[in-house]
Amino acid sequence: MISGTPLPLVGTEPHLRADAVRNRARLLEAAARLAAEHGAAALTMEMVAAAAGVGKGTVSRRFGDRNGLLQALLDHAERQFQEAFLSGPPPLGPGADADARLRAFGPALLRHERTHRDLYLAAEPTPQRRFAVPAKRLRHAHVAALVRTLLPGADADLLAHTLLASVDVVLVGHLVTDHGMTAHRLEAGWHDLLDRLLPVTRG
């Protein structure tokens, strides 16, 4: 990592007994099937319980609430994305300089969330919780570390929030659906922001 200390993958499950792992996998399999059939927005705890042949209380104990269930469904894809920017090949992963990694991050995030947009929108937490989601905290920490390397002395934490806001999944959904913006334009917008923010890194 940029800081020299690896950032841990977040949003991981604590160690579970073998039977708990099997039960969790069965519930997630049922949830994934229902989400594919009916859309993630229509998914309910009751539907998952019925499909898995268990009581709603079992689903609640495993995932807490509907948002927790949806976040669990996203876990596998999110881990793949995290591994790509934490330890994958350059330019997104280590091996490229901070400028190249930051420029690769926005488009990679846009493509990742476009692939899983239905789930991300359905799992969007309340305003009070959205910045506490482990995956969002890891993304912010990563972008802030890259900005801190490129702009020593700048408010990297605040700049990271500003950059990530430009590729927020809810905003992107609005821009694509209501304004007809293309993926190319959104990715170009990320690079334009960086060109304006980081002129010293160009030429």
Quick: pLDDT tens for 132-183. Answer: 888 899 999 999 999 999 999 999 999 999 999 999 999 999 999 999 999 9
- 48-87 in b/e form (b: 16+ CB < 10 A) is bbebbebeeebbeebbeebbbbbbbbbeeebeebbebbbe
Length of the chain: 203
pLDDT at 18: 75
Residue 201 pLDDT grade (very low, low, confident, very high; cuts 50, 70, 90): very low
Query: Domains of the chain (ranges plus CATH)?
Result: 67-201 (1.10.357)
Q: Can you give the pTM of this predicted structure?
A: 0.77
The more confident residue out of 35 and 158 is: 158
From residue 117, how far is each of 109, 113, 123 by CA, in Å?
A: 11, 5, 10
Average pLDDT over residues 8-29: 70
DSSP structure string for 126-188: PTTTGGGSHHHHHHHHHHHHHHHHHSTTS-HHHHHHHHHHTT-HHHHHHHHHHH---HHHHHH
pLDDT digits (tens, 9 = 90+) for 65-113: 988 898 888 887 788 899 999 999 999 999 999 999 999 999 999 999 9
Tokens standing for 9?
């993958």
